[in-house]
Amino acid sequence: MTSALQANFLLFYVAKPLESAAFYTRILGRGPVEVSPGFALFALDSGLKLGLWARAGVEPAVEGLPQHASGELAFALPDIAAVQAAHQAWLALGLSMLQAPTQMDFGYTFTAADPDGHRLRVFCPQ
């Protein structure tokens, strides 16, 4: 019997991987473990790896897909104060905010966007 598949990579298709890598370096507080003109890779403490792949170099080609992403990269924090602190830090970094801190049915949250329109959600669960 084989073991269940475990997702351990998240790939975002981006216009400019080096610029996106600089953006994620600022918000993640760490640099990529791999960088080339067409790709950057971050290894997170959770074990998840975040890859930023040049949209123009993806095989098979992503032509016909929406230019902007339709998913989110979420960051769970322990409490409302941590969410508020993250919001202030991201504002200071100049991130584009899509949603101000608010209470939702799943918890307290805010949402920002990366340079390619991928959503970045910070929340503390209820």
Residue 3 pLDDT: 67
Listed as ranges, residues in the chain with pLDDT below 50 are 1
Q: Where are the domains of the chain?
A: 1-57, 71-126
Domain 71-126 is found in CATH 2.60.40.10: no
- 3-class SS of residue 17: helix
DSSP codes joined into one string, 78-113:
SSHHHHHHHHHHHHHTTPEEEEEEEEETTEEEEEEE
Put simply, whether the predicted model's pTM sits higher than 0.85 gets the answer no
Which residues, other chains included, contact 68 with Cβ-Cβ below 8 Å and sequence gap of 6+?
116, 117, 118
pLDDT for the residue 8: 86
The tokens for 78 are: 């322990």
Q: What is the CATH number of domain 1-57?
A: 3.30.720.120
Question: What pLDDT, on the 0 to 100 scale, is given for residue 77?
Answer: 94
